């Protein structure tokens, strides 16, 4: 019994030619595509976060372990009339919903001051500061502050 003889013949494509790819070509193509996608993602993230890195670094130096994230732009930019905003997201060790208001306001004011020091706020109409506390085995506690900016 010859197994090779039992296998069907490959059928021709529309042009009447037989096409096949070698395994090595497919694997190299997949690796190349993966490398291309990683580079594209890195480039996008680099361009997206670069303007805000000095502020993120300053916030992290002022509030160690806060894992700051800063982004700017328009909320739902596909809609007309959306105001350009700067969003700062910071992790805190206290519950932002039950903390003393003067202490909380001082925290928010310091974040606002750091933003003024490290960014040109004239291109934004609103500053959003999000404070969150992660609690193990429970819901994340969040509080948002909106500060209108003069353009």
* Domain definitions of the chain by residue range: 52-148
User: CA geometry: angle at 71 spanning 66 and 77, to 5°?
Assistant: 150
**What's the pLDDT tens digit per position in 56-70?**
999 999 999 999 999
Q: Which CATH fold would you assign to the domain 52-148? A: Alpha-Beta Plaits (3.30.70)
Over the stretch 113-131, which tens digit does the pLDDT of each residue have?
999 999 999 889 999 999 9
* 8 Å CB contact between 129 and 90: yes
pTM over 0.85: no
Tell me the pLDDT band of 150, cut-offs 50, 70 and 90.
confident
Burial code of 11-30, b = ≥16 C-beta within 10 A, e = fewer?
Answer: eeeeeeeeeeeeeeeeeeee
Structure tokens at 73: 């732009």
Q: What are phi and psi of 15, to 5 degrees?
A: -85, -5
| Residues 15-51 pLDDT 10s | 556 567 788 989 999 999 999 999 999 999 888 889 9
By DSSP bridging, strand 141-148 and strand 126-133 are antiparallel
Specify the pLDDT at position 22.
85
CA distances from 44 to 49, 75, 84, 89, 130 (A): 9, 19, 20, 20, 24
| Tokens at 50, concatenated | 């670069």
Q: So what's the pLDDT on residue 82? A: 74
Q: What is the mean pLDDT of residues 77-102?
A: 85
- Considering all CA atoms of the chain, what is the largest pairwise distance in Å, rounded to the nearest integer? 88
Please give the mean pLDDT across all residues of the chain. 86
């Amino acid at each position: 019994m010859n197994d090779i003889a039992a296998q069907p013949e490959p059928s021709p494509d529309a042009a009447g030619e037989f096409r096949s790819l070698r395994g090595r070509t497919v694997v190299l193509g997949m690796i190349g595509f993966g490398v291309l996608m990683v580079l594209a993602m890195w480039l996008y993230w680099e361009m997206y976060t670069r303007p805000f890195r000095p502020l993120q670094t300053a916030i992290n130096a002022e509030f160690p372990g806060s894992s700051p994230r800063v982004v700017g732009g328009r909320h739902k930019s596909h809609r007309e009339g959306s105001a350009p905003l700067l969003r700062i997201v910071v992790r805190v060790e206290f519950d932002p919903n039950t903390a003393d208001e003067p202490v909380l306001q001082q925290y928010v004011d310091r974040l606002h001051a750091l933003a003024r020091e490290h960014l040109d706020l004239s291109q934004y109409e609103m500053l959003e500061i999000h404070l969150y506390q992660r609690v193990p085995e429970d819901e994340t506690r969040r509080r948002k502050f909106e500060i209108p900016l003069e353009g």
